[in-house]
Amino acid sequence: MTNHWVDIKNADLVLIMGGNAAEAHPCGFKWVTEAKAHNKAKLIVVDPRFTRSASVADVYAPIRPGTDIVFLGGLIAYLLANDKIQREYVVNYTDLSFIVKDAFTFEQGLYSGYNADKRSYDKSSWDYELGDDGYVRTDPTLADPRCVYSLLKQHYARYTPDMVERVCGTPKDKVLHIWELIASTAVPTRAMTIMYALGWTQHSIGSQMIRTGAMVQLLLGNIGIAGGGMNALRGHSNIQGLTDLGLMSNLLPGYMTLPNEAEQDYDKYIAARAQKPLRPNQLSYWQNYGKFFVSFMKAWWGDAATAENHWGYDYLPKLDKPYDMLQTFELMSQGKVNGYICQGFNPLAAAPNKAKMDASLAKLKFLVIMDPLATETSEFWRNAGVHNDVDPAKIQTEVFRLPTTCFAEEDGSLTNSSRWLQWHWKGANPPGEARSDLEIMAGLFTRLRKAYREEGGAFPDPILNLAWKYAHADSPAPEELAREYSGSALKDLADPKDSTKVVRKAGEQLAGFAELRDDGSTSSGCWIFCGAWGPTGNLMARRDSSDPTGIGQTINWAWSWPANRRVLYNRASCDPSGKPFNPERKLVGWNGSAWGGADIPDFKADENPAGGMGPFIMNPEGVARFFARGAMAEGPFPEHYEPFETPLGRNLLNPDQPQAISNPAARVFKDDREAFGKAEQFPHVATTYRLTEHFHYWTKHVRLNAILQPEQFVEIGEALAKEVGVENGGRVKVSSNRGHIVAVAMVTKRIKALTIDGRTVHTVGIPIHWGFTGVAKAGFLANSLTPVVGDGNSQTPEFKSFLVKVEKA
Amino acid sequence: MALQSLDIVRRSATTTPSPQAREAHAGEVAKLIDVTKCIGCKACQVACMEWNDLRDEIGSCTGHYDNPADLSEHSWTLMRFSEHETAAGDLEWLIRKDGCMHCADPGCLKACPAPGAIVQYANGIVDFHEENCIGCGYCVTGCPFNVPRISKRDHKAYKCTLCSDRVAVGLEPACVKTCPTGAIVFGTKDDMKQHAAERIEDLKSRGFEHAGLYDPAGVGGTHVMYVLHHADQPQLYANLPAEPKISAMVGLWKGMSKPLALLAIAATAFAGFLHYIGIGPNEVDEDDEAAARREMEETR
């Protein structure tokens, strides 16, 4: 979230799209209820299904899965055409006035630089035009035909209301009604929040859907303000913490990135990330990358990380390609992976194409499961009848099951969607022989280190030199880890302004990332968490709910990254002179000598606004980008591409370019492409999702949840039910080109057939929660059906839109 | 079942007066269920099961989100989902939390022939005392909302207690405490009516011109009330009765048939008395005694 849960109460308009907050986040949804009850807010829900969120919405509109960019792109065109944009905001705080290189082009769904063989782009033309002074050329009048404003307008001119109706199936009157409501928040006194989740991320163009939403919010001046923002609702209690700590295969903690194979040179690695400002007097905060990186390396390798060895840069792997989940399972299916450790992960259930997963896991020599529950993955070898029809005699994989504690059986911090690190204390001791993940990983590490120490091996240094300064080497305490990722001074730190003063003594915890240095004198395992456990103690354990301004800014409750800031980009809530756009909901402001207010300013604290420093300090431009430059795989502006399994077989936006039907820059493995189905054979559009009554594949092990939602079902509309001849409560077989499931048919008015480009398209809703372990009725894993293709940037699988055929079972 | 007997104002099938000394000074209580805020998450169902130590069977999917499929001795509350298309063609998914309404004039209590099996407390809560229940099912007939359920195992009637044990010690019912959206609130009946009035004003501003409070007069008002978008059509909400009344059968039982039945019982007793006076007591002679002994030995 750019903002936070409580802040939703400040919204005048709530758009839930690409998510179902009432269903998946009922506790957080209370703030939507609050906005409606006490702020007269209206709620809009756009979703393929009439959801639990829709049940309390003021306006609902259906949409075909996977076409959100068309709906939002049309909205962008509408806002530009009707001048419903917050002009002072966009001219000053975004790149609309920036001039783009002449070589940049877009034709028939493809941007300049496309290489069809590699399915990727040469992005060199995707950039701004630089002037002689080295800074980007701009045209504040927005008249230049090559400025971002002109290109944006031109790009989305094709996204007309008629096109939206044709592609999305959303009735035009509904579309225009919703656009009009949204446009009403272009004024500084009205705020809209966007709440989204996996309904946007789980598409082959998911990242670009989210970007389109963010662009709408920028045009309306809704980023950085109370009641606004782009708010990603995270699906696990600590999945925000997972990404923050860099548990993606290409990341390091704090959104630093692993070097790639070509980056063997340390200085070049840093220079590429510590970007120089692209406009005069911009902060370009990533210029501090070296300080964050060196402090991180000191946290991991301690005294072994020195200036001479570039802080252990050679210890880091250099990626030849991304090793995301889909890539790893592809390698596994090719027999190139011998062993696999599943830590809190149930890939047989959670990864696409169960048949491929089954075959891949069977090629492993060993599989280690760390989980509190008996997951399907841990029993992938067991014949569970129709639900897992495998022959155990043919599977030689050795499976080790290590029971772990669950979150309620351990102390630690969970980072929620609001970016709050909230310390918690265990509620019970773990049962039986269960051990915490910390103990298991520590045990594994100490044994590996011993083996390397005694037997040697290829390049043992990163293992032997890893700093391991915990009181109990076999069981590091959560408090020790928290202090480590927050960070401390390794030497006495002199005041940069007065070298006779010491600001931090050696060993003292640091107050924040501004104290980090790149000379090896500071240590911080995750720079964005720096200060969470500061000189005064564990700030994550704070439970002060006082809200002095009444706008939900409880800044002494727990601790929020970065720097305990609650609303990101909050400098943008003020006009260029530093006065709040909306004094009623003031977050921060300039008082003539400093920035301050209800939040921690997301800005240089003493920067006079007259200097023109932009509010988006992480970008070298200082402003937000409509034009993504080279940051995205498929292009600087989001463009609609069909799901890889499309019911239309063509892209109505770019009908004459077969290479631009589906995401031209998405990675697709050969076997997975061959497993795609066609609309002729599988005419119905399927989408998978979660239900309130369950949490993923966990709670089917819990009797209470199983009582509430005991048996697998699929949701189909009345028209499709009639077509296939099934009654409500009867059974249907749903097949894709990869497998099938059989489930109870829930025939509902909540899913309607849509008219897409003149023909009828049915949507099939597939809740995911059932499997062959647990106390709920056994069912099929929903991912028996789903295709293996990920988003072009994040590789998140396309679980939200694929093709199936529904038959009476 | 945890309030003190002193708080009881009415008991089933009992003619002796209830204690009068104590009153509910804070006023009668009420639970207000704002159907328009409810997202059907079923957290209330879980809270009810956990607080009351109830676990229903793991059932099956019947083509609805309603699970368990019906109220039972283990499920005292249940979300009922109804799909409704408005005249304008818009869909509404109306989700109503079903359970005991705690009527001011409780049909179950009136119908119950078992002394003290159903009581009404001074704060308005209607409670079942299962230890006194004879399992006759008259409460089921007496209830205009089809709420009580008879257990097949112990043949006792069960329903929501409005967490009388929690309320007695100053806590809100478990479902109220757990509701994430604040759709269920609890307080004095007057406060709840006030809260409902604010909600109804908001709903009217959003185009629900018939929004209103469900507190039906036919049962003397209820201590569980609903805010409805369509108060003019309560039957849209899984057949919530528009004008609930206590069944005519209960009226008959309490009005005509009960005195008649009592008369019949008295007549039987009188006939017995006449028999005793006129013919003398029924005595067992030696032949009867011997026959009984034989029978007993044969069956051993």
Q: Are residues A481 and A491 in the same domain?
A: yes
Predicted confidence band of residue B6 (pLDDT cuts 50, 70, 90): low
Same domain, B161 and B16: yes
- How many independent structural domains does chain A possess? 3
CB A292 within 8 A of CB A631: no
Across the interface, whether the CB atoms of B63 and A27 are under 8 A apart is answered no
The answer to whether residues A784 and A399 touch, using CB atoms and an 8 Å cutoff, is no
A261 and A224 belong to one structural domain? no
Percentage of residues in chain A having pLDDT higher than 70: 100
Mean pLDDT confidence for B152-166: 97
Q: Report strand pairing: A192-196 vs A230-232.
A: parallel
Encode pLDDT of A595-654 as tens digits.
999 999 999 999 999 999 999 999 999 999 999 999 999 999 999 999 999 999 999 999
CA distance linking residue A144 with residue A138, whole number of Å? 9
Label the pairing between strands A713-717 and A739-748. parallel
**Spatial separation of the C-alpha atoms in residues A360 and A500, rounded to whole Å:** 62
Contacts of B45 in chain A (CB under 8 A): 708
A701: closest chain B residue by CA: B58
pLDDT at A519: 97
> Contacts of residue B46 in chain A, CB cutoff 8 Å?
704, 708
Instruction: Identify the three-state secondary structure at position B30.
Output: strand
Last residue of a domain, one of B246, B275, B291: B246
B261 and B180 share one domain: no
> pLDDT tens-digit profile of A255-281?
999 999 999 999 999 999 999 999 999
Q: Please give the distance of CA A538 from its chain centroid, rounded to a whole number.
A: 27
How far off is chain A from B69, nearest CA to CA, in Å? Answer: 9
B259 and B116 housed in the same domain: no
Choosing from B246, B264, B287, the residue where a domain stops is: B246
Per the domain annotation, does A540 fall within a domain?
yes
Nearest Cα to Cα of residue A439 among A486, A412, A404, A414: A404
* Minimum distance, in Å, between the CA of residue A715 and any CA atom of chain B: 9
Q: What pLDDT is stored for residue B298 in this prediction?
A: 67
Residue A27 sits in the same domain as residue A133: yes
Q: What's the mean pLDDT when you consider all of chain A?
A: 97
- Do β-strands A759-761 and A754-756 pair in parallel, antiparallel, or remain unpaired? antiparallel
Looking at the fold, whether B170 and B58 belong to one and the same domain comes out as yes
Q: Are A209 and A68 in contact (CB under 8 A)?
A: yes
A248 and A135 housed in the same domain: no
Q: State the smallest CA–CA distance between residue B8 and chain A in angstroms.
A: 34
**Domain boundary at B203, B219, B246, which?**
B246
Task: Quote the pLDDT of residue B4.
Answer: 64
pLDDT class of B2 with cuts at 50, 70, 90: very low
- Residue B271's pLDDT band (boundaries 50, 70, 90)? confident
Give residue-wise pLDDT tens across range A194-240: 999 999 999 999 999 999 999 999 999 999 999 999 999 999 999 99
Q: A656 Cβ partners below 8 Å, 6+ apart?
A: A108
Distance CA A84, CA A174 (A): 18
B129 and B241 fall within a common domain = yes
- CA separation for the pair A586, A546 (Å, rounded): 17
Edge-to-edge, what's the strand order for the sheet holding B8-11? Answer: B8-11, B118-121, B126-128
Judged against a pLDDT cut of 50, whether residue A557 lies above it is answered with yes
Q: Is the pLDDT of residue B275 over 80?
A: no
Residue that finishes a domain, picked among A547, A564, A581? A564
Q: Is the pLDDT of residue B104 over 70?
A: yes
% of chain B surpassing 90 pLDDT: 74
Domain-located, residue A362: no
When pLDDT is averaged across residues B205-231 and rounded to a whole number, the result is 98
Longest dimension (CA), chain A: 85
Its domain, for residue B292, covers 250-299
Q: Which residues contact A97 (CB under 8 A, 6 or more apart)?
A: A91, A138, A139, A140, A141, A142, A147, A148, A149
Residue A483 lies in a domain: yes
Q: Is A689 on the interface with B (CB under 8 A)?
A: no
Judge whether B200 is closer than 8 Å to chain A, CB to CB. Answer: no
Q: If pLDDT is split at 50, 70 and 90, which confidence band does B260 have?
A: low
Mutation choice for A interface testing from B37, B39, B82 by most A CBs within 10 A? B39
In B, which residues are within 8 Å of A52 by CB distance?
Answer: 39-41, 93
pLDDT band at B1 (very low <50, low <70, confident <90, very high): very low
Which among A564, A588, A603 is the end of a domain?
Answer: A564
Q: Give the nearest chain B residue to A29 (CA atoms).
A: B181
Q: How many CB pairs under 8 A join A and B?
A: 117
Angle at B132 between CA B126 and CA B134, to 5 degrees: 105
Q: How many CB atoms lie within 10 A of CB A417?
A: 21
Q: Are residues B150 and B26 in the same domain?
A: yes
Residue-number span of the structural domain to which A265 is assigned: 237-324+405-416+419-564
Contact at CB, B41 and A33, closer than 8 angstroms:
no
pLDDT in tens, A344-354: 999 999 999 99
| Average pLDDT over chain B, rounded to an integer | 91
Using one digit for the tens of pLDDT, what is the confidence trace for A115-144? 999 999 999 999 999 999 999 999 999 999
A96 in any annotated domain: yes
Nearest Cβ partner for B58 among A30, A58, A777:
A777
Predicted pLDDT at A2: 98
Query: Are A201 and A265 within one domain?
Result: no
Does residue A345 fall inside a structural domain?
A: no
Q: Which of A235, A253, A271 is the last residue of a domain?
A: A235
The Cα-based distances of B141 to A421, B111, B150, B151, B161 in angstroms read 55, 8, 12, 15, 19
Whether A572 maps to a domain, the answer reads no
To the nearest whole angstrom, how far is the Cα of A274 from the nearest Cα of chain B?
44
**Chain B interface mutation, best of A174, A705, A707, A715, highest count of B Cβ atoms under 10 Å:** A707
B61: tokens are: 């999917």
pLDDT tens per residue across span B69-82: 999 999 999 999 99
Same domain, B17 and B95: yes
- Which percentage of chain A shows pLDDT scores above 90? 100
Q: Which helix (H) or strand (E) holds A759?
A: strand A759-761
Cβ of residue B209 closer than 8 Å to a chain A Cβ? no
Residue A156 belongs to a domain with what CATH number?
3.40.228.10
Whether B57 and B10 map to the same domain: the answer is yes
Q: How many domains does chain B have?
A: 2
3-state class of A767 per DSSP?
strand
Q: Are residues A227 and A288 in the same domain?
A: no
ipTM higher than the 0.85 cut: yes
Within this chain, do residues B108 and B131 fall inside the same structural domain, yes or no? yes
Whether residues A713 and B92 touch (CB distance < 8 A) is answered with no
Q: Which of B61, B85, B181 shows the shortest C-beta gap to A30? A: B181
Same domain for A49 and A74? yes
CATH of the domain at A676: 2.40.40.20
For A675-720, write each residue's pLDDT tens digit: 999 999 999 999 999 999 999 999 999 999 999 999 999 999 999 9
Statement to judge: residues B114 and B91 lie in one domain: yes
Q: What amino acid occupies position A13?
A: L
- Residue range B25-84, pLDDT digits in tens: 778 999 999 999 999 999 999 999 999 999 999 999 999 999 999 999 999 999 999 999
Instruction: Tell whether A165 and A47 lie within a shared domain.
Output: yes
Residue B205 contacts A, CB cutoff 8 Å: yes
pLDDT band at B18 (very low <50, low <70, confident <90, very high): confident
For the segment A539-557, the average pLDDT, to the nearest whole number, is 97
Q: Are A501 and A539 in a shared domain?
A: yes
Size (chain A), residues:
809
pLDDT at B254 over 70: no
In this prediction, residue A646 carries a pLDDT of 98
| One domain, residues A536 and A669 | no
Residue holding tokens 């000074």?
Answer: B25
Residue from the list A23, A58, A710 with its beta carbon closest to the beta carbon of B60: A710
In a shared domain, residues A94 and A222: yes
Tokens coding A432: 């039986």
Strand partners, A15: A44, A194
pLDDT of residue B284: 72
Residues A292 and A166 in one domain: no
